[in-house]
Structure 1
């Protein structure tokens, strides 16, 4: 399913592949690649609250800010898993995490199969990247919060996401 003009990049319209998920939907499973090249599946974290911080590339200023901010905020919470997902290669993610002291986020890549970005309606057709979004999944695998940003160069609303997270 193509969603034309669903988002913009610097004001220019882009096409997203897949369906935007809604609060109340069951979170689709996916497998991404961790920094050590091993697979990671969403179902490994059922029973915990999951925050997905999706972004185009860790090597951009907004993505860096988003990763550092959520990494810092999650440190204060218990029983919450933070998955940061981009199209960056695992080697770049590993380098970034070491340089920025990212210890609370599980940084992963969707470069291999693009299963996450397609299942969550975040694959940018023209760029081959993931659009920016924040998704919170409760312990039962239900989506409880979504923010699909319309302009991918903008930061998510951290306050709203963190307030929603505290409910689950």
Structure 2
């Protein structure tokens, strides 16, 4: 089990976080119109899973903005921004910000996603939320890069994630 830091406290993170060479686990999340989105939607494309707590936190919102900016120049690559937020909150944010190069998905109906991807926060005030992480999958769904933020106040290395597919 991994742990991460938040305000100088350790928070357990449940599940096994995916590492380079692992095959992506199956998932079914919800899009902005409440329709399902799965791994199968991305077969044949590179995909960056940008996993975060909530679009309503500054650092998480910045991650969506930054990936939107960076992925616009990377062919055959999509960014799927995943949180426990409602799909409506995420689409509202993207529309207000003019973000067209990322796709949002909610795991609020899929609690198994958090555990299956090793990002389920536990035993803290943030229990039920997802840890901040990035998982980069190649065109056949194999992990080529992953990073679990060891401190919720620290940003993910966006450049390292994007470089996987340049």
Q: What's the TM-score, normalizing by structure 2?
A: 0.94
| 1:77-156 equivalence runs, <5 A | 77-125=74-122, 126=124, 127=126, 128-156=128-156
Quick one: distance in 1 between partners of 2:113 and 2:82? 8
For the pair 1:28 / 2:34, whether they are aligned, the reply is no
SS at match of 2:23: coil
1:65 aligns with 2:62: yes
* C-alpha deviation, 1:20, in angstroms: 1.4
Following superposition, the deviation at residue 114 of structure 1 comes to 1.7
SS in 1 for 2:60: helix
Moved over 2 A (4+): none
Residues 112 and 75 of structure 1, relative CA distance in 2, 3 Å threshold: same
Give the equivalent residue in structure 1 for 2:163: 163
Deviation at 1:116, TM superposition (A): 2.1
For 2:144 and 2:76, locate their aligned partners in 1 and report how far apart those are by CA, in whole Å.
Answer: 16
* Structure 2 runs not aligned, ≥5 long: none
Give 2:39's aligned residue. 42
Question: Any stretches of 5+ residues in structure 1 without a counterpart?
Answer: none
Partner SS state of residue 134, structure 1? strand
How many residues end up aligned between the 2 structures?
163
1:93-143 alpha-carbon deviations (Å, 9 max, x no partner): 111111111111111110112232111100112321010011100011110
Q: TM-score, normalised by structure 1?
A: 0.93
CA positional deviation for 1:78: 1.2
CA RMSD of aligned residues (A): 1.1
CA deviation digits over 1:37-72, x for unaligned, max 9? 111001221111010101000010001111000011
